[in-house]
């Protein structure tokens, strides 16, 4: 299934996209951790199969993030060998983990704001995992796959000076306002199938910048979830950004960082497409 939230920011309405491409009201107050933990996906699937869900007029509706603000956004750095190389780093022996403020999450077509004082704002198309069950100390890849509710597209927007040149941890360059466009859909794990066979691409102003595939992850989806559960409790509604392939501005000749007026477009096969115009904070 493809779950999403539509409407003005702060007033989104949870819906499901049916096989005919129509939006249907799911009859639930929100798509969040409580919804996922209480069997919400199964309830919606059953109601959709019975034909019980009313059609929603989609004309003119903004698409918001398909998940209400998560408890945490956990990110994996340098998880594609080609991106590690362009960053001048060795491929890590263990996953590189950092956190991103949950307030960064916006809709897939919302404006991305360059922070005040920034001259090195960059893009990163990523596969995002959405956790559906509480998880701690998972012992196997099979257990890890069992706690995944679904997947979505994340744009892990990053300010490289704040991240790498201002001291401390990466979080400063990752947690600026609007720095995690998310969606358009939360696609349930059963529909995605193998998450290690997903092409992912990003364009800036119509020029292809990133063209990768999740098969080239250093640490695959199941290992990322298993590994994180050794260090923190993963809760329903948590989001994990799994890393980006090569093609970011930081690794390109001339380092063509984002400027106001630029347009980013992102896609992952089966998960939809995003488009953001860049503005100035």
Could you tell me the CATH number of the domain that includes residue 81? Answer: 3.90.850.10
| Same domain membership, residue 159 and residue 77 | yes
DSSP code for 242: -
First and final CA of the chain: distance in angstroms? 36
Task: Please tell me the pTM assigned to this model.
Answer: 0.97
Q: Can you say whether the dihedral through the CA atoms of 232, 225, 152, 111 is positive or negative?
A: positive
* Residue pair 14/41 in contact by the 8 Å Cβ criterion: no
Please identify, among 63, 97, 116, the residue that sits at the C-terminal boundary of a domain. Answer: 63
Please identify, among 15, 34, 63, the residue that sits at the C-terminal boundary of a domain. Answer: 63
| Same domain membership, residue 134 and residue 17 | no
| Same domain membership, residue 73 and residue 28 | no
The one-digit pLDDT tens for each residue of the chain (281 residues) are 999 999 999 999 999 999 999 999 999 999 999 999 999 999 999 999 999 999 999 999 999 999 998 999 999 999 998 888 888 888 899 999 999 999 999 999 999 999 999 999 999 999 999 999 999 999 999 999 999 999 999 999 999 999 999 988 899 999 999 999 999 999 999 999 999 999 999 999 999 999 999 999 999 999 999 999 999 999 999 999 999 999 999 999 999 999 999 999 999 999 999 999 999 99
Q: Can you say whether the dihedral through the CA atoms of 78, 84, 86, 90 is positive or negative?
A: positive
| Same domain membership, residue 206 and residue 230 | yes
| Same domain membership, residue 97 and residue 54 | no
| Same domain membership, residue 271 and residue 134 | yes
Number of domains into which the chain is organized: 2
| Same domain membership, residue 153 and residue 132 | yes
| Same domain membership, residue 89 and residue 216 | yes
| Same domain membership, residue 147 and residue 265 | yes
| Same domain membership, residue 275 and residue 152 | yes
Please identify, among 63, 83, 116, the residue that sits at the C-terminal boundary of a domain. Answer: 63
* Both tokens assigned to 101: 């403020």
| Same domain membership, residue 167 and residue 93 | yes
| Same domain membership, residue 250 and residue 209 | yes
**Which structural domain, as residue segments, surrounds residue 23?**
2-63
């Amino acid at each position: 299934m493809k779950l999403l939230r539509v409407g003005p920011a702060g007033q989104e309405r949870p819906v499901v996209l049916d096989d005919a491409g129509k939006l249907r009201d799911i009859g639930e107050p929100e798509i969040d951790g409580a919804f996922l933990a209480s069997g919400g996906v199964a309830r919606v699937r059953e109601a959709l199969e019975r034909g019980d869900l009313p059609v929603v007029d989609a004309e003119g509706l903004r698409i918001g993030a398909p998940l209400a603000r998560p408890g945490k956004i956990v990110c994996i750095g340098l998880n594609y060998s080609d991106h590690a190389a362009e960053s001048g780093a060795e491929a890590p022996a263990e996953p590189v983990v950092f956190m991103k403020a949950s307030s960064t999450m916006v809709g897939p077509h919302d404006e991305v704001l360059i922070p005040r004082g920034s001259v090195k704002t960059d893009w990163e198309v990523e596969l995002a995992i959405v956790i559906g069950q509480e998880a701690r100390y998972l012992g196997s890849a099979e257990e890890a796959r069992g706690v995944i509710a679904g997947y979505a597209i994340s744009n892990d927007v990053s300010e490289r000076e704040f991240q790498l040149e201002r001291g401390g941890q990466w979080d400063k360059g990752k947690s600026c306002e609007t720095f995690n466009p998310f969606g358009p859909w939360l696609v349930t794990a059963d529909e995605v199938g193998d998450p290690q066979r997903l092409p992912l691409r990003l364009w800036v102003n119509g020029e292809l910048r990133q063209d990768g595939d999740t098969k080239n992850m250093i640490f695959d989806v199941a290992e990322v979830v298993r590994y994180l559960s050794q260090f923190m409790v993963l809760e329903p509604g948590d989001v994990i950004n799994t890393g980006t392939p090569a093609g970011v501005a930081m690794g390109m000749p001339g380092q063509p960082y984002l400027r106001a007026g630029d347009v980013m477009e992102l896609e992952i096969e089966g998960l939809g497409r995003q488009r953001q115009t860049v503005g100035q904070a």
